[in-house]
Amino acid sequence: MKILPDAFIQKYQELLGQEAAAFFASLKEEPVPAFRTNPLKKSQQSFSCTIPNTDWGHYGKISGKSAEHVTGLVYSQEPAAQMVGQAAAPKKGMRVLDLAAAPGGKSTHILSYLDNTGILVSNEISSKRCKSLVENIERFGAQNVVVTNESAQNLAKTFRHYFDLIVFDAPCSGEGMFRKEPEAVRNWQDSLPAKCADLQKQILREAIPMLAYGGQLVYSTCTWSPEENEEVVSWLLQEYDYLDIVELPKLNGMTEGIGLPEAARMYPHRFKGEGQFIAKIKDNRDEKAVSLPRGKSNLTREEAQLWQEFAAKHLKRPLKGLLQTFGANLYLLPDGLPDLSGLKIARNGLHLGTFKKKRFEPSFALGLALPKHDIEQSIEIDIEQFKRYVSGDIIFLTDTYPNGWYQLCVKGNGLGFAKVVGHTIKNYFPKGLRFYA
C-alpha cells in the first residue's frame, strides 16, 4: 500500500485515539478474500472457512475459471461488503431497489434472500460498470431482476413510493478500500469526504420519493469518514421527520457508529475484512398501496406460439412473469413491475432467447437460471469437457442422444443450452465469455 496522506493519519489519530496504532498497522496487512455461495443453485457443495454469523459467507479465494464460478454457485465478495446485504435481508416477496449496484455483490446477496420472489431493480448509473453488473446478475441465475442504467432522479419518475426496501451503497472517498485498491490512496484528499457527502445527500434526495410508505433504507459506504457516514445519516433524519434509525446487531467485531450507536462500523483491526459503514432507516408513515401503470406484453401471435411450443417441449413447468420482446429477443419480467418504457434498460428481466426464422433459440441465461429438474433434457459434462466447452470447442458424445436442445450441466448446475447434432454438442457458450481453463 502507498504511504498514507498526512491529513488522513492526523484525522484518524484524533478519531480513534489509543486504537489508532492498531488501525494503521492493519492497513499494511493483506486484504481478506472471501466469497458467498448461491442458494438459488440446486446443486450445492461444501466449503470450509465459514464466516461466523452469515448464511452463505466463506473466507478464501475462488477462481474465475472454475466451474463453481462459471455456473454461478459462488460469488467473490469481501467480508465487510457482505454485511450490507445481510443488514438489508429482504423478506420474500419484497420490492427492492439496489440503487448503485455495480459490480453486483449486493444485488446477488439480495437475490439470495428473495429466492426468486418479489422484484429487484438493480441500477447502475455508469454504462461502463453496468456491463459487469449484467454479467454477474446473469451468472447468478435469478428470475426476478431487472437491470437499469439510470440516475435516481429518472428512476423516481417511474417508481414513486414503490420499493419496500432501498439499498444505497453510496459513492464515497473509498478509505475502506485502501488495502485492496492503491488508487483509492492516491485519489484521497482532505477535501474529498465533504465533496462525497454533498453528492450522497443529492442522490438521497432523489431516492427517498421511491421509498414505499413503511419501507426501509439501508445506507452504506466503504469509508470511515464521519462526514460521509454519521453526518449524512443525521442530516437524513433531520430532513425527513418520518424516518427513524434502526438498531443493527454488531457482529464479528463491528463497532457502533460515532455518536450514532444504532449504526455499524467495520475497522480492519477489529473486523476480519475491509472498511464499511452501515445504517438502516425505517419510514414510519402508515403503509398504503400505490397504484402505478403496469407493463404489458408486446409479443406477436407468431412469437407467442413459437415460445409456447419451445416451452411445452423443453420445460417441465411454466415460467411466471410478463413476456416482452426487445427486437428479436424475448425476456421474462417479474410480475408487478410498472411500465419501464421511460427508462434505459440494461437487462430487461431474464433473457429467454431469440426468435429466428420460424423458430425459437434458447439463451445462455435461461440455461443458467433453471435447475435441471425443471428441464426435460439435460446432459451432465465432466470437468475436462467443461474446460473444452468454455474455450469454444465442441464436445464429442459416446452415448447416443436425439438431436435437439439440451441444458448442459457441470457438477449439477446449468451451463446454458446447447444443441446436440449426431454425436456432438455444438458450442453455444458466449464468445465474449470464452477462456482457456
Binding annotation: 100-106, 124, 169
CA–CA dist 50, 59 (Å, integer): 6
Following CA atoms 264, 268, 271, 275 in sequence, which dihedral angle do they give, to the nearest 10 degrees?
40
Reading the block at residue 241, the C-alpha cell is 421527520
Buried b (16+ CB within 10 A) or exposed e, 393-419: eebeeeeeeeeebbbbbbbbbbbbbbe
Reading the block at residue 265, the C-alpha cell is 462500523
CA distances from 325 to 178, 231, 330, 350, 355 (A): 44, 45, 4, 11, 9
CA–CA dist 134, 141 (Å, integer): 11
Annotated binding site for S-adenosyl-L-methionine: 100-106, 124, 169
CA–CA dist 105, 112 (Å, integer): 11
Please give the angle made by the CA atoms of 4, 8 and 10, to the nearest 5 degrees: 115
Question: For residue 52, which phi and psi values (nearest 5 degrees)?
Answer: -55, 150
Q: Which of 130, 196, 222, 409 is catalytic?
A: 222
Following CA atoms 93, 98, 104, 109 in sequence, which dihedral angle do they give, to the nearest 10 degrees?
-40
Coil/strand/helix, residue 319: coil
CA–CA dist 62, 301 (Å, integer): 46
Give the number of C-alpha atoms closer than 13 A to the C-alpha of residue 192, restricted to the C-beta side. 18
- 172 is known as an active-site residue: no
Pairing verdict, β 119-123 and 211-221: unpaired
Coil/strand/helix, residue 253: coil
Contact 178, 27 (CB under 8 A): yes
CA–CA dist 229, 257 (Å, integer): 8
Q: Which residues are catalytic?
A: 222
